[in-house]
Structures are given as structure tokens and as C-alpha cells.
Structure 1
């Protein structure tokens, strides 16, 4: 079984967008995504992050079908239990949702299984224990949890001889609350992998969008980010300038920043042409001066990118 965590995980949130593309402004088919999987696997990007919540299983369906061409031990799967999507009429809600995910992903185990948010740490965390004991899940993660909730989940699992081995929170140049709250330090001290999602803020920090080239009209990300494009222009210019010295793009520098901060970025990739970009991001070196400059520019942008689903970390 593969146990090494790549420096970058690939996210499939956008793979399960609604048919009208209301979240990301796109509608992806398995045919569209096959080159992404093939090129990623060839590049050694073998950790795939999904969730039942991404299109009510649509993302898992596509990912599971596309990975059937590869031996199960050649990749890792990360998927999630979302409390708000539980049926509410069973004592085994986590196992029930996991069963659906296993079927859609064509596997009999998940490498990292997450509690998607801290709706009820006391209720849901214990339900992970029999799944760990049976081998249906290999590692446990908690997502969108604050430090106290992470510690409590760790206590509950610890009573059965297990531990939280991964945390997945929103982290980017524009949103560093998990660092400010001491979560990243806690993860480092307890051998917990910190996965950073929305590192590029759904494309805002990719360098592909500006006031004259806004995010796709009508999408949810456009409604959130287009109005702040003027505020982040200096930051994206800084990302581009630092990247130019190493032949890298703004997106690659923003990703390299998250790696430099001790996190494992989850990057949503919807086109195969972006796979080489992830390899470049993993190879970039940012100096302390680069990091300080970027953080100063991000602070000056004065943009709050906390998601509507998130509680404050600090």
C-alpha cells in the first residue's frame, strides 16, 4: 500500500459541479477529465481528494471510473463524510456514507477518510473507529475544524489507539487563519499532515484573471471574487514577478508558498495542460524575502476570503 504523501494533492471539487456549472462555471465530463488523470498519474501526482458532497457523488463517480485503469496500490484516495448530508435515521451514518463512496470509487478501502466539518465532534468522531479497525479506512482526517475540535477528535480516537493523521483547512496567501490559530504548528508537532485547500482561491491567485478578464460570469466564484480583483492586483503582480525569475507562473508561486509554509496544497486541476505546472510548483524555491514580500502584499490587499461554510479558526 502506498503511504508516502506527495507534496501536492489533486482536488476534484470542480469535477462534481452542478450540471449548469453554477459553482465553478464549467461542466466536466469523464472524457474531458481522462487526460488529467493519465497525465497526473504519469507525473507522480497520485493522491486524489474528493467528497460525496461534490455533486452528490458525481465527483466520486468520475474519479472512480477513471482510476480503474490503474492498480489500486498506485494511488491514494481521500474522500469525506459530510454530516449535513447524512440521512439522519441510522446509528451508522458514517459507515453508510462510506459504503456509497466505496462503491462509486470502485474500491474496498479509503486511504484518508475525513469528517468534512465539525457539526458534532462528539457524535461523528467515534463512528470512525470501527471503520479503522476493519481496514475500510486507513487514516482519519478532520476538515474545517478549529484547534480545540482537532484536539478533541484526537482524544476520542486516542482512546481506541488511533489518531487524527490529517487536517484539511482553507489556507492561502489571503487566508492564513489556520496558521494564526496555531493549527499548522500543532500538526507539525503531532505528525499530522496539514492539507491546504483553496490555495489559489478558486483561480483568483492564478494570474489568469484581472479587472479586464474576470472570473466566469454567473458562477458562484465570480460573485465572490470579481469584486475584489482590483484589491489583489498588486499581489498577483508580485506573484508574477517572483515567478518570472524562475520561469514560473503566479499560480505556481502561490502553490509553492503553501508548500513552503509546511502544508500539502490540494490543487483543483480540470485540464491536463496544468499538470506540468504542479511539478514546477513542487520544484520552486522561495526565499524568506520572497515569502515576506508576498505576505505583506496579501495583507495590504485587505480581502476576506473566508468561505460561507467556514467558522473562524482564530
Structure 2
């Protein structure tokens, strides 16, 4: 068995910002209280469960949390802020990333809604404010101009985007440079089973420009845990639309079985779990450029997350997993 080294407090430079963040943050979509079309993707979590998830995350070395306006119409932001308030001094030095929802809006809405974001966060500062999707009724430049003005007024500290293409990332970074700023990050779907950013220029562009990648859905909605391969009947108990994803079907589970077996082998070697191996691969396969935001709907999920930062796969193990995953996507 390989001895695990303690890396819980290891922090990384986050893009071109002055932030130093843990390789894993906590994705807070599941704090939406089951509200709205987007928030309804997850069941309604109790306040006590949310508090415990946040507490475990903090104690395990996570120092930042990612939420969004569209997650329950501000419910996720409010639940996160309430939990942080209850944790008192232990939550004094955390960073919050949230997102503006652009659909059917113009860039002018960014300034009009910032007070509501701050209210939902209980007055906590926004370390990273992101445009949630690359579509609105305004241009990328107009959105970045509005974001830059929020930085100048002290409402936010850094600007990020989400789901932007390589070209859109360049456009956003170029617009921010006019204000003496840089694009901090691009939040995209990325996991061992979804490696599109390695092929479409997003990862390469991020590395070239010094932009951090934030990987959401890093466990492919739980598929990489391996539990659905070992107990296929669990698929029937999944609540919400994710149960209809192709990866949960019998043929999808069969296709990814070799990868799960490789994760199991390494999990035994590191006294870890397949989930932790998959997350460890994600935060080390490309140097320090990729951060990840696994969610947690139960306290033991949060425990799983933080333990993924307590060891490091070898370069040869990362390469082995990369090769296996590449043929299973």
C-alpha cells in the first residue's frame, strides 16, 4: 500500500489572480432547496445536512465554494451563506464564487443584479463572479466591461466565465486587459469521461493565457464512483433527470467498466476510493491548471471529496488512467 501524504492544506495560485485556492472547491448546486427548473435537479437538502457538508469541507482543507444565481433563484447562495455564518471563525477566510445568469438579459443587468447577489450571500464578498453561459443579448466585450466596472467599484474581486469556447475566452481576456484585468477562469464540464476540452482548444488556450480551468461534473454525475457498476439497480433510485443520462444505461455502464476496474485497483493501492482516484487524476493530470468542484448531497460525500487531496497519483498512474479513459468516452 502506498503511504498517503497530508496535502489537505495545499493551495494553488488561481490563474492570474492573487488568490490561492485548494485544488478542490465545493460545488453548491445541490443547495438549491429543490427550487426552480435548475434547482429541481437535486432533492431538497435539510439545513442541518448543508451545514455538516460545509463544515466537513472546511475542516478537510477546502477554502472556496462555487454557487450561482440560477441555483434555486438564489437559494444556494443563501443556504451557503447561512452555513458559513453558523460556522463562525472557521469560515472567516473562505472565498465564494458565484455566477450571473445571462439568458434573455443584456450586460446592463450585471450591474442591476449585483446587490441581490450580495444580499443572498449575506454581505460576504464575491471573490470570483462568472458569466454562467456564453449567451445573452449582449456581446462578450459588453459583459466584460460590465464585470470590470464591478471590480472597479469593489463589488467583486475577479472575473470568470463558464462554458466559453477557446475563442470566447480570448475575447473575454482581451476585453478585460483594457481595464488592467485578466480573465481568471473558465468553468467547464470536464471529467475522465468527458475530455472535450483537451481536443477543442479550451485547455490549450487556458494554459497559454494563464487562465484557470474549473471542472464541473468531475465525477460524471456519480458514474465514476463505480457504485452503479457494482449495483446497477441503484440507477432506479436516482431522483431527478440525471437517471436518464446515457452513462447510466446498461450499455453505458458496460462501456466504462474497464475504467472503473482501473480506478478500483488504484483505490486499493492508495487505501482510497474510486471517487478519490478520479478526482486526484483531474487535479494533477495537467499540472496546477485544473481545479474541480465536486458536489456533495450527503456528509459522507464531502468526506470523500476532501480525502482526494491527501495523496498524489504518480505520473505513470495518471498516464495509465488517461489512456484507459480515452478509449471509453
TMscore range, shorter length:
0.7 to 0.9
- Map 1:145-160 to 2 at 5 A: 145-160=164-179
Deviation at 1:14, TM superposition (A): 1.4
Name the SS of the counterpart of 1:23 in structure 2: coil
**CA-to-aligned-CA distance 1:101-156 (integer Å, 9 cap, x gap):** 11011125300000111114133221101101011110111110011100000111
Match of 1:126 in 2: 145
Q: Does 1:292 align with 2:319?
A: yes
Q: TM-score, normalised by structure 1?
A: 0.87
- Map 1:128-143 to 2 at 5 A: 128-143=147-162
Name the SS of the counterpart of 1:114 in structure 2: strand
**CA-to-aligned-CA distance 1:251-308 (integer Å, 9 cap, x gap):** 0011001111231111102222233323321123223332233223323324xxxxxx
**RMSD value, Cα:** 2.1
Q: Does 1:276 align with 2:295?
A: no
Counterpart among 77, 90, 95 of residue 60 in structure 1: 77
Q: Mind listing any 5+ residue stretches in structure 2 that lack a counterpart? A: 1-17
Q: TM-score, normalised by structure 2?
A: 0.84
Distance 1:125 1:115 in 2: 9
8 Å CA contact retained: 1:22, 1:218: no
Distance 1:199 1:144 in 2: 14
8 Å CA contact retained: 1:209, 1:215: no
Match of 1:43 in 2: 60
Counterpart among 113, 132, 138 of residue 116 in structure 1: 132
Distance 2:323 2:208 in 1: 27
Name the SS of the counterpart of 1:167 in structure 2: strand
Name the SS of the counterpart of 1:51 in structure 2: coil
Q: Does 1:234 align with 2:258?
A: yes
8 Å CA contact retained: 2:285, 2:318: no
Distance 1:215 1:189 in 2: 44
8 Å CA contact retained: 1:184, 1:194: yes
Name the SS of the counterpart of 2:225 in structure 1: coil
Match of 1:214 in 2: 235
Deviation at 1:17, TM superposition (A): 5.4
Match of 1:307 in 2: none
Match of 2:6 in 1: none
* Cα distance change of structure 1 residues 22 and 80 upon mapping to structure 2, 3 Å threshold: closer
Match of 1:193 in 2: 212
Q: Does 1:9 align with 2:8?
A: no
Distance 2:236 2:163 in 1: 25
8 Å CA contact retained: 1:168, 1:194: yes
8 Å CA contact retained: 1:239, 1:250: yes
* Cα distance change of structure 1 residues 108 and 37 upon mapping to structure 2, 3 Å threshold: closer
